[in-house]
Each structure stands twice: as structure tokens, then as C-alpha cells.
């Protein structure tokens, strides 16, 4: 039993502002919260305290000590209201919105957006979660778990450390996320206890995956954060989201339409359907995305760096090394944007499409029917499961559709070449970008007045698509038997020679090449 436990005598967490140490205390069984059962998955159970709110949740920012009941020592020992910036931070973290302008702003991945909980700002009076400052919390911040005890859900910031300016991506902002996580029922990821007496497993015990751990990076001793000034998590992270959804359900109405996500290469601000979500400090991007449905797109076409975009649940993407958070001691965050995990396998939260920039990009799809566009540069596109469309764009590209019936679109630019690694005859399709090949019509090759022949040389007039069965290469001859030379546009190295055949009908039996406008 620690000293604070003897003093407080009730379930709380105490977080040190400089060392990052916290202490967990036991909580009595109240009536307004409900227990949370174990899932059997330590990545989630490692964050479940076993306590959650059972109904609508209110939060407030008391300005006078008399708001608190008799016997709450924090209210009688150097009580102070939190700052306007802290109020705004809490509003955005919980609800993703505020009725007033100013202060730190991060409107996406709010608690109410990814769960089915109902959260209401109760102003400055009584509520379930009361947020204030007290000398009793020095030199730390701490919060109480959900409870029907008067202190249940209360969040306290110490007054000896300046928490009053929580810019997005700062320690102060991350502390607000962390303490609100406790007030909603999350425990520390690095500690045993909770519903299963487990910690988050080693390979995910870092701020990249949960704000509830004291490890900035995997393998660090939980003795204090070492992140750079603006290198802290900007939202709840994937394991936090999964644990809170286990307690409160998953919200599939958030961004449930066809949503386009973009980011600024110069400020790090995220844009959802062209609407800015708030500018983080230091041009850092360190966040997790939850999307409720629709056909969604990560659009990085404004980047010139070598991108790594991963659409898999629990995956992460890197846009620019300059925008990665420095976690300390030579450890850099493995990604800028992390994808939320699927809730009970529900595919609605998947991001379906990705658009690369002008660098040499690597893009990974997921189980959905993905549209992956490489753009300029020498790109590598991997579709995964699903009926995917892969468009490498200009440059020397590698395309791999994975499982499913995939469509490979060839750009047609003079410097465009695609190596199609897994073309399956009779299942996959190849298409031509109408503009890139200078064609005026769409439809089948016959409709677009494009010939299709085997061999390395065209024998007829007009634009011709050639397939050299011996070399498994696809060539384009813009004028058929005319003076222009056939140009190599794609190779199918893993296709068995002789497996393709040409049909005299409007389509090709094995190598079907419709002309599309992309």
C-alpha cells in the first residue's frame, strides 16, 4: 500500500509530470458503473480496468471548490479551475467539437466518434467527469475510474507543473487524453491488473499503440516519457480505441459516407473531405483513424516523398520522415497515421483506397476491393484480398493484386512500365488509360479501334496492343505496322508461356484489355 493510497483511500491514478510514474488504487463497487468482462485478447484486456459508465456521460470544468462534495480533499487544497485551452482540449478529445472557437483543436478520433457512448458538456457545475486542478495532485495529474462514489470519474491536474497550454501533440495534450482514458475506464497498458491481470504485450506496449502506457517506445522502461516536444500522440491510439469500444460499443455512423483523408506536408494538419481537423505542433503527424463506413480514400497526391501507405487494420503509414514523432534515444515512430482495428471483424471501418504522390511509393491494400494509385515515381502496389484495381502511373512500377479478380491499369505515358507479378489468365484483367494512350473512346479494344496481336511486331494498321508470348511482355504500337516502334509497357513474368490465347470477338479470352478513363 503506497503513501498516496493511505491518503486518498480510493481508486485513482497519479501521474507524475516529469517521471511519468503512476499508482493504481482499488475501487469500491458503485451503482452507476457496470463491469467489463475480459475478451481473452491481452492487447485489449491489458487496458480494461473492469469499470465503465453504464449510461450517458457528462463532463464539466468546475470553477469553485463548492462544486465538490464534502470530504473531497483535492477541492480543499489549492483548488483551481483548468485553463480555457485545457477545456477545449477535453471537449475535442471527448466529443470532437466545441461550441466556441480557440484553443487546441483536433476534431477527429474523439471518444464519442468511435464509440456509442453519449457524452455531454455540462458546463462548470456538477457532472460525472469533473476536470480541475489541485495542489493535492502535485507534481502529477491523476483521475478516478468510473464510480458512484462522489470522486468517480474526476480528473485532477497538479498545480506545480504547467499543464495549462496543451497544444496538439504536446505532453500536456497527451496527458489530457491519458487522464480522460482513466476516467472512462482504461487502466495502464504497461501494468498488470484489470479484468485479466495482464499488461499489453511487449510488441504493442508503446505510445504508438496506446496512450495509456508509460513507454514512449517498445522496450523502454516505464519510468517516464522521452518524446520530443511535439512528439506525443494526438489522439487515442488503436488499442485505446479497441478497449473503449469493448466497453461502449463501436460507432459506425462517423464518417460513414465516402470520405477522403488528406494531410498537409508542411503543417501536419489532417483534412477530411477538405475540412481541416486542427493543426498539431511541430509539423508532426501521430494519430489513429477510425472510419465508420463508405468507400474511403487516403489521398497523398500532394506529397513528393517516398510514401509507405498501409490500409490493413492495425497497420500504419509513413508520409514523410520529417513528420514522424521522435520518441527518444534514437527511436522514431514507425508511422504517422495508424489504422484502427476492426471491431468484431466488421469491415465497415476499412479504408478502401489510396493515392500516392510523386515519390517512389509502396502501397498495401486490405481485404476490401481496393483502388490503389501510385502516381508518378517507381511505385510498388500490393492489393491483398478483394477485387482490386492497381494503377501504377508513370515510372517503373511493380503491381501485385493478390487474391481476387484484379484489374491492372497501364498508364501509357512514355516513361510508364509495369511489372505485373501475379497476373492470372482468365481471372485478372488489364486496362489501358485512355488519356495516357491517346485514345478517344472507351470500352473494349475493338470499340476503341485498338488491335490486339501476339508477337513483337504489328501486322495491321492503327494502334495495336502486342503480347509477346515468348518473353511474357506487353507492348504498345501506336500506329501498328507504321514507322513508330513498339514500346514495352508491361511484363507478366510469372505467367506460364503459351497460356494466353486471342479471341476474334470483341474481347480477349485470356488477356482482356478494356480501355478506361482513369
Pairing of strands 362-364, 308-310: parallel
* Separation CA 123–CA 6 (nearest Å): 32
* Separation CA 315–CA 294 (nearest Å): 19
Maximum CA extent, the chain: 95
Per residue, what are the HEC states of 183-241?
HHCECCCCCCCCCCCCCCCHHHCCCCCCCCCCCCCCCCCCCCCCCCCCCCCCCCCHHHH
* Separation CA 51–CA 46 (nearest Å): 13
Contact of 344 with 331, CB cutoff 8 Å: no
Cα torsion 414, 419, 422, 423: sign: positive
* Separation CA 383–CA 389 (nearest Å): 8
**Is 208 an active-site residue?**
no
CA 170, distance to chain mean position in Å, is 19
Which position among 74, 172, 179, 191 bears the catalytic label?
179
Neighbouring C-beta atoms of residue 50, cutoff 10 Å: 20
* Separation CA 93–CA 105 (nearest Å): 9
* Separation CA 409–CA 406 (nearest Å): 10
Pairing of strands 331-332, 473-477: unpaired
Query: What is the set of active-site residues?
Result: 179
Amino acid at each position: 500500500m503506497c503513501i498516496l493510497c493511505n491518503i486518498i483511500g480510493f481508486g485513482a491514478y497519479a501521474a507524475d509530470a516529469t517521471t511519468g510514474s503512476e499508482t493504481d488504487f482499488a475501487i469500491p463497487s458503485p451503482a452507476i458503473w457496470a463491469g467489463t468482462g475480459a475478451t481473452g485478447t491481452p492487447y485489449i484486456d491489458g487496458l480494461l480496468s473492469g469499470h465503465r459508465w453504464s449510461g450517458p456521460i457528462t463532463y464539466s470544468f468546475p470553477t469553485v471548490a463548492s462544486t465538490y462534495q464534502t470530504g473531497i480533499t483535492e477541492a480543499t487544497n489549492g483548488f483551481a479551475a483548468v485553463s480555457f485551452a485545457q477545456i477545449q482540449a477535453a471537449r475535442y478529445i471527448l466529443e470532437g467539437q466545441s461550441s466556441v472557437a480557440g484553443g487546441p483543436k483536433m476534431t477527429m478520433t474523439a471518444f464519442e466518434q468511435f464509440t456509442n457512448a453519449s457524452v455531454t458538456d455540462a458546463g462548470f457545475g456538477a457532472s460525472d467527469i469533473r476536470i480541475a486542478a489541485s495542489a493535492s495532485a502535485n507534481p502529477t495529474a491523476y483521475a478516478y475510474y468510473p464510480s458512484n462514489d462522489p470522486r468517480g470519474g474526476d480528473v485532477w491536474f497538479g498545480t506545480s507543473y504547467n499543464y495549462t497550454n496543451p497544444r496538439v501533440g504536446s505532453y500536456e495534450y497527451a496527458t489530457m487524453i491519458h487522464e480522460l482514458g482513466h476516467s472512462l475506464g482504461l487502466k495502464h497498458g504497461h501494468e498488470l491488473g484489470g479484468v485479466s491481470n495482464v499488461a499489453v504485450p511487449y510488441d504493442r506496449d508503446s505510445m504508438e499503440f496506446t496512450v495509456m502506457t508509460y513507454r514512449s517506445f517498445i522496450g523502454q522502461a516505464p519510468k517516464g516519457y522521452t518524446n520530443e516536444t511535439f512528439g506525443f500522440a494526438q489522439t487515442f491510439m488503436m488499442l485505446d480505441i479497441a478497449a473503449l469500444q469493448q466497453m461502449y460499443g463501436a460507432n459506425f455512423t462517423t464518417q460513414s459516407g465516402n470520405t477522403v483523408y488528406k494531410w498537409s506536408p508542411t503543417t501536419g494538419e489532417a483534412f477530411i473531405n477538405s475540412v481541416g481537423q486542427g493543426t498539431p505542433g511541430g509539423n508532426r503527424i501521430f494519430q489513429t483513424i477510425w472510419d465508420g463506413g463508405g468507400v474511403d480514400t487516403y489521398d497523398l497526391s500532394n506529397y513528393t516523398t517516398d510514401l509507405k501507405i498501409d490500409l490493413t487494420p492495425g497497420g500504419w503509414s509513413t508520409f514523410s520522415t520529417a513528420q514522424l514523432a521522435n520518441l527518444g534515444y534514437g527511436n522514431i515512430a514507425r508511422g504517422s497515421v495508424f489504422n484502427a482495428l476492426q471491431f468484431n471483424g466488421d469491415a465497415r471501418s476499412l479504408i478502401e483506397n489510396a493515392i500516392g504522390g510523386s515519390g517512389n511509393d509502396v502501397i498495401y491494400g486490405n481485404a476490401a476491393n481496393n483502388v490503389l494509385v501510385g502516381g508518378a515515381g517507381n511505385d510498388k502496389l500490393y492489393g491483398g484480398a478483394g477485387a482490386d484495381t492497381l494503377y501504377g502511373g508513370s515510372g517503373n512500377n511493380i503491381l501485385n493484386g493478390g487474391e481476387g479478380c484484379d484489374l491492372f491499369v497501364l498508364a501509357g505515358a512514355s516513361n510508364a512500365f509495369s511489372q505485373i507479378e501475379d497476373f492470372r489468365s482468365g481471372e485478372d484483367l488489364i486496362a489501358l488509360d485512355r488519356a495516357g494512350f491517346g485514345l478517344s473512346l472507351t470500352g473494349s479494344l475493338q470499340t476503341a479501334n485498338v488491335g490486339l496481336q501476339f508477337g513483337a511486331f504489328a501486322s495491321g494498321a492503327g494502334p495495336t496492343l502486342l503480347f509477346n508470348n515468348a518473353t511474357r511482355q506487353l507492348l504498345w504500337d501506336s500506329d501498328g505496322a507504321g514507322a513508330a516502334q513498339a514500346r514495352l509497357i508491361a511484363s507478366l513474368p510469372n505467367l506460364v508461356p503459351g497460356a494466353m490465347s486471342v479471341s476474334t470477338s470483341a474481347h480477349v479470352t485470356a488477356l482482356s484489355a478494356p480501355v478506361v478513363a482513369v
